[in-house]
A = this chain, B = another copy of it.
Amino acid sequence: MLNGLTFEFAMLQLINMDITNPDIERYLFGLCPQEPEFIRRMEEQARKDNFPIVDRLVGRLLMLMARMKDPSLVVELGSGFGYSAYWFARGMRRGRVVLTDRDADNLKKARSMMDEAGLLGRAEFMEGDAMESAGSFCDIDILFIDMDKQSYLKAVKTFEPCLAPGGLVIADNTLWYGKVLTGEDDNARAIMEFNDYMFSHPGFDCSLVPLRDGVLVAMKKS
């Protein structure tokens, strides 16, 4: 038995728990066509290892963005074992996606997966802190940010001059488990600052899509 106050609190917790109605998410997953077996294996592995990856819904959005943008150069900051890079590469008709990660082992897995996907020819791998090598990139068509959350703002400021006119910034986890509502941890506050920066920047047009953990898509005005 619950009294009114506890009930209200439970409701509030519930409201704050999910970004998108889980039933709606299931419906959206149900719409997606079947994917190759190695994708399912990669998703399964991520679940087992509790390794954060964008899911298939976000993956499809990344592929669509790549198809629309027809990029020559995609740079990922925080590639993990290459799940997002797979979706970008799958949407690309030309050009290359540069996967960066601090962890050599992640990139090794990513290379093997891109190979299995037949997309190795689209991929380059760079171990270490990509921000230190920002200068080596120019005319980035899509910058994908999925690294540690407290570096998002620094990352976009560092890479802004390296974006092609009309280039996209796509950032994952920009609703940070819904904690942007309360700013209850350092990551949430960093993400809130990043979102504020992007949406108030006169040089970007932004949209934040509540898919999974929130995907910010911004286009540099040309």
Contacts and interface: CB of A to CB of B under 8 A. Distances in A.
B11 A199 contact: no
A19 B16 contact: no
Contacts of A18: 15, 21
A64 interface: yes
A127 interface: no
B57 A207 contact: yes
A27 B60 contact: no
Given A7-B7, A68-B68, A24 B178 contact: yes
Interface in A58-83: 60-61, 63-64, 67-69
A63 B92 CA distance: 23
Contact of A7 (B10, B21, B31): B10
A36 interface: no
A7 B14 contact: no
B24 A19 contact: yes
Contact of A199 (B23, B31, B180): B31
A27 B51 CA distance: 27
Interface stretch (A117-125, A130-138, A154-162, A209-217): A209-217
A175 interface: yes
Contacts of A208: 28, 31
B1 A199 contact: no
A43 interface: no
A67 B20 contact: no
A200 B91 CA distance: 17
Contact of A64 (B10, B31, B207): B207
User: Which one of A14, A31, A57 has the highest number of Cβ atoms from chain B below 10 Å of its Cβ?
Assistant: A31
A195 B31 contact: yes
Interface of A: 1-4, 7, 10-11, 14-16, 18-25, 27-28, 31-33, 57, 60-61, 63-64, 67-69, 91, 166, 168, 175, 178, 180-181, 195-196, 199-200, 205-211, 217, 219, 221
Given A10-B11, A61-B209, A64-B207, 14 more contacts: A1-B2, A1-B3, A2-B2, A14-B14, A15-B18, A15-B22, A16-B23, A19-B24, A24-B175, A27-B180, A31-B208, A63-B205, A67-B219, A209-B209
